[in-house]
Amino acid sequence: MKDFIAGLPKCELHLHIEGTLEPSLKLELAERHGIALPYDGPDAIRAAYRFDSLPSFLRIYYEGMDVLRTEPDFYDLGTAYLRKAADQNVRYAEIFFDPQAHTSRGVPFATVIDGLHRALLDGERLLGVRSQLIMCFLRDRPAGEAMDTLLASLPHQDRIAGVGLDSDEKGNPPAKFAAVFERARREGYLLTMHCDVDQDDATEHIRQAIHDIGVDRIDHGVNALEDPALIAAIKDRGLGLTVCPISNGYVTGSTKSTQIRRMLDLGLRVTINSDDPAYFMGYVAENLAVVADELELTKEDLVLLQRNAFEITWLPRDVKDGYLAELD
């Protein structure tokens, strides 16, 4: 099944570009900027990756970003990911970035988007991997700061497909950002949001995301299975769910394979993604392999997961159809 997964044309829809910062690039960027890291090599960096919850992961994730400072840094980060994507036969990716994690350290918004966008252009031209950016707001910071970020993004809107919401969910429900997402929609952005797995008030957060915010997609959203009304709403609206099994394993102790099986059986548009692969040590192929193994998936199941993914992309219909035809 590994070979089948390797050859399958794939789509990645839940990937934080800052979560693709591999230890080797971290060391290279630290050297570029004369930053003394307290690690003598990639293995030492990895050995410090100890997390068993979303907050314990996020602490390490934000700490790691300090080496990202200039436009070429963001270009190199994006390019390193897209090379990996090309190696795994990822044909198309929608890529989250967290501008507030950089602007709060004094890195200008334009530096971040210029570097990432240049990487995306070269990724398509040189590697044949098409991609788009999704800008995420940090939900554990004030809504006013998210609104400022939204306004700062408008001059760059032609390079951003939509907006999302990530970081620590505890006490930070979708409703906190209702005005920000309403404005984003009015400005023409598509909307998605993390509804992380097994959070407090998880089903209420999913309800708000669907009914109060009107999202176009849900990131994770596994707990929707606990409420038949949410399942019905997701089905009626054709909403996609971007599930990340290896990430789930780290932050909740379970890959949630059983729930993925149930989503497939219910005919929901569930997809398999990698979240923060440099930290969770699995890109999309490894995530698919874990689920294929745990659920004894057939080739048809794996093709369906990719069909779901291409179907819920934020691409024009004719482009989607082109990718879907590759799966026939």
Cβ proximity to ligand HPA: between 96 and 323 the closer is: 96
Cβ proximity to ligand HPA: between 162 and 297 the closer is: 162
| Alpha-carbon gap, residue 85 to 90, rounded angstroms | 5
Number of residues that bind Zn ion (CB under 5 A): 1
For residue 38, how many C-alpha atoms fall within 13 Å in the half-sphere facing its CB?
4
Cβ proximity to ligand HPA: between 54 and 312 the closer is: 54
For residue 19, the partner it binds in Zn ion, ligand HPA, none, with Cβ less than 5 to 8 A by kind, is ligand HPA
For residue 69, the partner it binds in ligand HPA, Zn ion, none, with Cβ less than 5 to 8 A by kind, is none
Site for Zn ion in 265-304 (CB under 5 A): 275
N-term to C-term CA, the chain: 18
3-state secondary structure of 37: coil
162-166 and 130-138 beta bridge pairing = parallel
For residue 61, the partner it binds in ligand HPA, Zn ion, none, with Cβ less than 5 to 8 A by kind, is ligand HPA
**Any binding-site annotation on 16?**
yes
For residue 306, the partner it binds in ligand HPA, Zn ion, none, with Cβ less than 5 to 8 A by kind, is none
Q: Is 16 in the site for ligand HPA (CB under 6 A)?
A: yes
Nearest to 244 by CA among 206, 270, 217: 270
CB of 281 to ligand HPA, least distance (A): 14
CB of 77 to Zn ion, least distance (A): 16
For 269, residues 6+ apart whose C-beta sits below 8 A from its C-beta are 238, 239, 240, 241, 308, 311, 312
Q: Is residue 256 within 8 Å of residue 248, measured between CB atoms?
A: yes
Cβ proximity to Zn ion: between 27 and 163 the closer is: 163
Burial class (CB in 10 A: 0-12, 13-18, 19+), 212: middle
H or E element in which residue 243 lies = strand 240-243
Sign of dihedral through CA atoms 240, 233, 224, 62?
A: positive
Print the binding letters for residues 235-264 with ligand HPA: x by CB under 6 A, - otherwise. Answer: ------------x-----------------
**Any binding-site annotation on 220?**
no
Cβ proximity to ligand HPA: between 2 and 59 the closer is: 59
CB of 196 to Zn ion, least distance (A): 8
| Alpha-carbon gap, residue 260 to 238, rounded angstroms | 16
Query: Mind giving me the DSSP string for 141-197?
Result: S-HHHHHHHHHHHGGGGGG--EEEEES--TT--GGGGHHHHHHHHHTT-EE--EE-T
Nearest to 56 by CA among 276, 241, 272: 276
**Any binding-site annotation on 14?**
yes
Out of 27, 29, 54, 116, the residue judged to bind ligand HPA by CB under 6 A:
54
Question: Cα 313 from chain centroid?
Answer: 13
CB of 247 to ligand HPA, least distance (A): 5
Q: Is 275 in the site for ligand HPA (CB under 6 A)?
A: yes
Q: Is 194 in the site for ligand HPA (CB under 6 A)?
A: yes
Binding site residue list for Zn(2+)? 14, 16, 194, 275
Binding site residue list? 14, 16, 194, 275-276
Residues of this chain that bind Zn ion (CB under 5 A): 275
Residues of this chain that bind ligand HPA (CB under 6 A): 16, 19, 54, 61, 166-167, 194, 196, 247, 275-276
